[in-house]
Structure 1
Amino acid sequence: MADVNKSPSQSRLLLISVPRTASNLMLKILNLPGQKLVTNEKGGYFFFNAFIKVDNNGRITLPLEERSEAQKQEIRDALQEAVDGLEDCAQRAEQEGKIAFAKEHAFWLTNPAVLGNQAEQAASFRLRIPDKYGPSQTFSPLNHTVLPDEYLRTWRLTFVIRHPALAFPSLCRAMQKFRQGGIMQREDTVGSMKTTLTLTWTRMLYDWCLEQPDLPGKPLVVDAQDIIHNPQVMVQYCEETGLDPSALQFEWESKQEVLDRQTMGPDSQSQQKSDVDLAKAEAVMLSTLLGSTGVIKDKTPTVVDVTAEAKQWKEEFGEELAYMLETTRIAIILTCLFLVFLVLRLRIGGITPGSPATQSFPRVNGSQQHSFSNLSLSHAQCVAAFPGLFSEIEDAVSRGPFTLTWSRLGEPLQGSVKDNQLYILNWQKKAFLSEQMLNERTAALNQLYRAIITSPEPLPDTLFALNIQDRPIAQSWSYARPADPAATKAGDFPMPHFAFWAWPLKYIGSMDRALIAIAEIEANWTFHAKIPQAVWRGTPWFNDVQNHDLRKRLIQVTTGKPWADVQALEWETNGETARNGLAIEDFCRYKYIIYTEGVTYSGRLPFHQACRSIILTPPMAWMLHTTHLVRPVFSSTLLQTEPRLGPPHQSDRIKRAWPTDLDAGDANLVMVSPDWSDLEATIAWLENHPIIAQGIANRQRELFYDGGYLSPAAETCYWRALIRGWSKVVEPEGREWTEHKGVRWELFSLGGF
């Protein structure tokens, strides 16, 4: 008898949710068809049909004596069928050496007698459980489900939650659509919502788990906020439960057209009304997911303001529903319950609700820092570790296919990736390149080669063009692209800067060397202890034609100002060093760093973003591969009492490039006027608001450094995603591509070409 109730290890996973908690999104990301598991055709819903019987068209709380014996028997039969299906799934999984997977709403498992406030009659819905789980059925005080303790203990439970102030109004909106679509009557939806607008069943089941001494694994709690905004949690969830993290998907094809045909097409005319209504209900509940091609982050805020949400409910839902959601009676009480879960939820390292890191991207702990040096992350791991990193690639792919022709002069360099090997096909001879250009080309190709040979997955074969000039070349990989979407063309793909390999200047070296040096400074300098000046070094005449006085004007505005350490570089030794130059890490000793673009981009930007300092820059005209992660606040927003200074984004080009002006509490960079006219006022404002200023500086370092976006892992991830994205839209044209076999990089790198 000692082994009767022994758990079948961690081979059974049961997700417990309530409606509108992003649980279907979680399943989409988990990619159930790609996992080694057994489930059913409903995505793990075994109790759905049984609940339809219990719900009785919204009359779920109907006393048992008001139901006929036939109705009660229908419910028993449906519940038994659900349990039999669940057990069959578990047995098949055990036989096949896979994981059994189920997903149920908490109230679907709840005993119908308990739902009807007649717990004393719960025994009338006891079900048949195989004898191997024990000779008796125990229902401890917190177990109000139809599954006895002995059986429930064989499943590892995961609780999927979402803040009630977001989940419950979302359900109300769905119910309104049910009424508008004729799926349910008003009184039916109100009855259903009285059961579903609660975390009671979820909380009791969670507390039941905490009382059990022999569960196959601790109960897990996953917050919808993390599912949407913190993909690394999904990787950790897989590692915790035995699922395959490499199978995770964060983008997919839209399924909306298929669902539209099912609910409105000719086939729907031959179905029974109940089936059509269920299909319509599914269309409502899954509309966002089925119409999406990936995780839509702006569908839920990163911080929930219950008071602000509650103000909308009365106008949106009317008196009765608003009363059900009223902050003082439901939302706040349930929020307290929610916060208990939140403390215990499955999460990464040091994330806390409302911290600056959760505003956009996750904070990092020690284990993640270690992974930042891992060059062999899978694509799914890359997506999870570095949310938003591939946006530039995704945007470039969305611009559509383009033709790639053979370059007559070998510029840009052209090559191929074939069978996870790098070949050089067409290049400029060394005699035509300066030493600096040759170094940059070698660095870029070493970066590409490193990413290819460390890939844990096959990369698609493709032909490519790699441009090392400062100014982008059409249909190539370049260091930057125009920030103005109107000036960006199909085939414009940003690639990582060569400094991620090496930049042979005395005061730079390489990205990883600089990051180590910067980390030393940041460990010993608080933001408020830094030099209270704005620092800049550069060559005054090195400007973009669209703002040809940018640097000259900067020097004019800052000359003699106590708040500025702005100097034109005094070059010596043939331009190799400057008498007044600063090591790149020493910029981090200043509170404020002024960033100026050159003829196009400036490669200094990523180094400055590793500092816990505030970057002050005119709206940037060029986008490096991570510039899209910048979250700017405009100086005009900070200086609202100084309208005479005017907005910093004056041209249509700049407005298209940077259309969103954030609040200072969300920003990680400050954009000032292109003529520097408000630079002094902006610095004065930041000095007078030290807490806000520190927040801007913190968010920058937390994202770019702590978040790992400047790490070797992120760089190799980006190169591999670049190969994948480019291969989808490039269309080589001309016989030259087949006539040239190319030279393997290993041989090419030895020189002589």
Structure 2
Amino acid sequence: MAHADSHTRSSVAHTKILFFSHPRTRSNLFIRLLQTHPQILFNHYPLMQCFMRGPESQWPEELKEEAFKASGLTKEEGDKKHAHFTYQAALDDIEKTLAEAQEKGKFCLIKEHTAYTFDADFLRPYVDYGQRPRPAMVDHKLDVAGSVEEAELQLPSPPFPNPTVLPDRLVATMTPVIIIRHPAYVFPSWLRAAASYGASVDSPKFKIPGSLRWQRFIYDFYRAYYDKIDDEEKKGWPIVIDGDDLVEDTQGQMKNFCELVGLDESGIQYSWESAGRPTDNVKNAFIGDLKESTGVIKGLSFSRDPDLDEQVKKWTEEWDQDIAGKLREAVISSLEDYQYLRARCLQTSPDTLIMLGIRKSD
């Protein structure tokens, strides 16, 4: 069991951040808060379109066609429109963003939904999208500016292989941040928003947002990597944030996050100008409330440990018994992953900065 003082303030600025998000975990709120800071450059979802709609899509063709149809495109039109969304272009763009941030002396945050950093082969035991070629990517090292030491850095060899499609040395040199939220809130929230493009709990598309195993995979990978290299500074990493903690104690969470990565928290503004609701139905369903907001929306009552039977009753009233039952199954399947990560979350303390490796005995 780790003690409260197991992680103290970082003396090193972690300027390159890889933010592993998941739908409906309040990841957009976290980014919105950081977007008020003048010292951060962002690259949002560089791999998402590659994974879903690009020429090397890891989705099966029928899901691609459904996505195109939802956008009013034929398959031919969709393929043409998304032809430039290659994994190589995405990797080059990530590295260029990192290089630009370094040149300007800023932090860089790359945000991507965790599952979209994997390929179909990695996902197959859990989500079978069929045989898909692994994306072809060459690490041009556009971000290292001739730094031999960084360019040659590699992750340790198996048994801890890199689960993502990104180059080993890039994943190794970035600071991982993982966001979670209770699955009883995440999964129905996704179902409501995804209805904007016709997705349902029965859709193959639900298999990714309807599980938190991806967040645990990334946590366990990095934890094993840090143990392998025996990095004393990173005994409490990766950083794990619970989206509901972010709403309950916004400033406390952001202050502690900034302390950990070496960012000046005073640069964050906790209010902003409303951008108005998006006119696009899908964007409005997923980020409409945030776009319309002028700050963190508080006052919503929720339980940290919701009564699942009570939630099922609400879902049955909102949808029907069949959908409520399937949501219940998904939540139960993800509870262990959530509780595992929840025990490793960034905590707020009035006296000291705490990043628990483990909050309670396993």
- Measure the CA separation in 1 of the matches of 2:29 and 2:89: 27
Output one character per residue of 1:202-230: Cα deviation in whole Å (capped at 9) or x when no partner. 11111000011357852100111210001
2:201–2:327 contact (8 Å) kept in structure 1: no
Letter in 1 for 2:261: T
Q: Post-superposition shift, 1:187?
A: 6.7
- Measure the CA separation in 1 of the matches of 2:209 and 2:62: 11
Of 26, 37, 59, the residue aligned with 2:40 is: 37
Output one character per residue of 1:313-343: Cα deviation in whole Å (capped at 9) or x when no partner. 23323344323212xx331331221111111
- Quote the residue 1:342 is aligned against: 342
Which TM-score applies when normalising by structure 1?
Answer: 0.37
Letter in 1 for 2:191: C
RMSD over aligned Cα atoms? 3.5
- Quote the residue 1:151 is aligned against: 170
- Quote the residue 2:6 is aligned against: none
Q: Post-superposition shift, 1:113?
A: 3.1
- Quote the residue 1:365 is aligned against: 351
Letter in 1 for 2:293: S
- Measure the CA separation in 1 of the matches of 2:61 and 2:289: 25
Q: Aligned residues, how many?
A: 308
- Quote the residue 2:69 is aligned against: none
- Quote the residue 2:110 is aligned against: 102
- Mark the CA change 1:233 to 1:127 in structure 2 (over 3 Å): closer, same or farther: same
- Mark the CA change 1:128 to 1:367 in structure 2 (over 3 Å): closer, same or farther: closer
- Quote the residue 1:297 is aligned against: 298
**Are residues 1:127 and 2:146 paired?**
no
**Are residues 1:245 and 2:246 paired?**
no
Query: SS state of the match for residue 104, structure 1?
Result: strand
Letter in 2 for 1:149: D
Superposed counterparts of 1:542-557, under 5 Å: none
Q: Post-superposition shift, 1:296?
A: 1.6
Output one character per residue of 1:459-518: Cα deviation in whole Å (capped at 9) or x when no partner. xxxxxxxxxxxxxxxxxxxxxxxxxxxxxxxxxxxxxxxxxxxxxxxxxxxxxxxxxxxx
- Quote the residue 1:26 is aligned against: 30
- Measure the CA separation in 2 of the matches of 1:142 and 1:163: 28
1:50–1:79 contact (8 Å) kept in structure 2: yes
Larger radius of gyration: 1
- Measure the CA separation in 2 of the matches of 1:300 and 1:253: 25
Letter in 1 for 2:135: F
- Measure the CA separation in 1 of the matches of 2:86 and 2:201: 21
Query: SS state of the match for residue 324, structure 1?
Result: helix
- Quote the residue 1:456 is aligned against: none
- Quote the residue 2:145 is aligned against: none
- Measure the CA separation in 2 of the matches of 1:333 and 1:289: 29
1:143–1:149 contact (8 Å) kept in structure 2: yes
Query: SS state of the match for residue 17, structure 2?
Result: strand
Superposed counterparts of 1:492-503, under 5 Å: none
Query: SS state of the match for residue 193, structure 2?
Result: helix
Query: SS state of the match for residue 250, structure 1?
Result: coil
Output one character per residue of 1:564-600: Cα deviation in whole Å (capped at 9) or x when no partner. xxxxxxxxxxxxxxxxxxxxxxxxxxxxxxxxxxxxx
- Quote the residue 1:174 is aligned against: 193
Q: Post-superposition shift, 1:174?
A: 0.8
- Mark the CA change 1:244 to 1:192 in structure 2 (over 3 Å): closer, same or farther: same
Superposed counterparts of 1:339-418, under 5 Å: 339-349=339-349, 364-365=350-351
Of 79, 87, 99, the residue aligned with 1:79 is: 87
2:88–2:136 contact (8 Å) kept in structure 1: no
Q: Post-superposition shift, 1:149?
A: 2.7
- Quote the residue 2:16 is aligned against: 12
**Are residues 1:192 and 2:210 paired?**
no
Letter in 2 for 1:250: Y
- Mark the CA change 1:156 to 1:323 in structure 2 (over 3 Å): closer, same or farther: same
Query: SS state of the match for residue 100, structure 1?
Result: strand
- Quote the residue 1:311 is aligned against: 313
Of 221, 227, 236, the residue aligned with 2:246 is: 227
1:90–1:100 contact (8 Å) kept in structure 2: yes
- Measure the CA separation in 2 of the matches of 1:109 and 1:46: 10
- Measure the CA separation in 1 of the matches of 2:353 and 2:133: 49
- Measure the CA separation in 2 of the matches of 1:188 and 1:203: 22
- Quote the residue 1:201 is aligned against: 214
Superposed counterparts of 1:536-575, under 5 Å: none
- Measure the CA separation in 2 of the matches of 1:37 and 1:237: 14
Letter in 2 for 1:242: G
Q: Post-superposition shift, 1:199?
A: 1.0
Query: SS state of the match for residue 196, structure 1?
Result: coil
Of 93, 96, 99, the residue aligned with 1:91 is: 99
- Mark the CA change 1:367 to 1:209 in structure 2 (over 3 Å): closer, same or farther: closer
Query: SS state of the match for residue 134, structure 2?
Result: helix
Query: SS state of the match for residue 310, structure 1?
Result: helix
- Mark the CA change 1:120 to 1:49 in structure 2 (over 3 Å): closer, same or farther: closer
- Mark the CA change 1:299 to 1:311 in structure 2 (over 3 Å): closer, same or farther: same
2:178–2:239 contact (8 Å) kept in structure 1: yes
Query: SS state of the match for residue 198, structure 1?
Result: coil
1:226–1:233 contact (8 Å) kept in structure 2: yes
- Measure the CA separation in 1 of the matches of 2:353 and 2:163: 39
Letter in 2 for 1:245: E
Output one character per residue of 1:526-570: Cα deviation in whole Å (capped at 9) or x when no partner. xxxxxxxxxxxxxxxxxxxxxxxxxxxxxxxxxxxxxxxxxxxxx
Query: SS state of the match for residue 241, structure 2?
Result: strand
Query: SS state of the match for residue 212, structure 1?
Result: helix
Q: Post-superposition shift, 1:235?
A: 0.8
Superposed counterparts of 1:591-630, under 5 Å: none
- Mark the CA change 1:153 to 1:58 in structure 2 (over 3 Å): closer, same or farther: farther
- Measure the CA separation in 1 of the matches of 2:84 and 2:273: 39
- Quote the residue 1:236 is aligned against: 256
Output one character per residue of 1:666-705: Cα deviation in whole Å (capped at 9) or x when no partner. xxxxxxxxxxxxxxxxxxxxxxxxxxxxxxxxxxxxxxxx
2:201–2:323 contact (8 Å) kept in structure 1: no
- Mark the CA change 1:124 to 1:23 in structure 2 (over 3 Å): closer, same or farther: closer
- Measure the CA separation in 2 of the matches of 1:82 and 1:284: 26
Q: Post-superposition shift, 1:150?
A: 2.4
Q: Post-superposition shift, 1:244?
A: 2.2
1:313–1:322 contact (8 Å) kept in structure 2: yes
Q: Post-superposition shift, 1:39?
A: 2.0
**Are residues 1:114 and 2:132 paired?**
no
- Measure the CA separation in 2 of the matches of 1:340 and 1:186: 29
Letter in 2 for 1:343: A
- Measure the CA separation in 1 of the matches of 2:139 and 2:131: 19
- Measure the CA separation in 1 of the matches of 2:261 and 2:294: 26
Which TM-score applies when normalising by structure 2?
Answer: 0.74
Q: Post-superposition shift, 1:302?
A: 4.2
2:124–2:130 contact (8 Å) kept in structure 1: no
- Measure the CA separation in 2 of the matches of 1:135 and 1:114: 24
- Measure the CA separation in 1 of the matches of 2:86 and 2:301: 36
Which residues of structure 2 form unaligned runs of 5+?
Answer: 1-11, 67-74, 142-147, 355-362
1:206–1:219 contact (8 Å) kept in structure 2: yes
Q: Post-superposition shift, 1:168?
A: 0.8
Which residues of structure 1 form unaligned runs of 5+?
Answer: 1-7, 179-183, 264-278, 350-363, 369-753
- Measure the CA separation in 2 of the matches of 1:241 and 1:207: 20
The structure with higher relative contact order (CA 8 Å, sep 6+) is 2
Superposed counterparts of 1:384-533, under 5 Å: none
- Measure the CA separation in 2 of the matches of 1:119 and 1:286: 28
Query: SS state of the match for residue 35, structure 1?
Result: coil
- Measure the CA separation in 2 of the matches of 1:310 and 1:75: 42
- Measure the CA separation in 2 of the matches of 1:209 and 1:186: 32
Query: SS state of the match for residue 347, structure 2?
Result: coil
- Measure the CA separation in 2 of the matches of 1:135 and 1:224: 33
1:251–1:294 contact (8 Å) kept in structure 2: yes
- Quote the residue 1:539 is aligned against: none
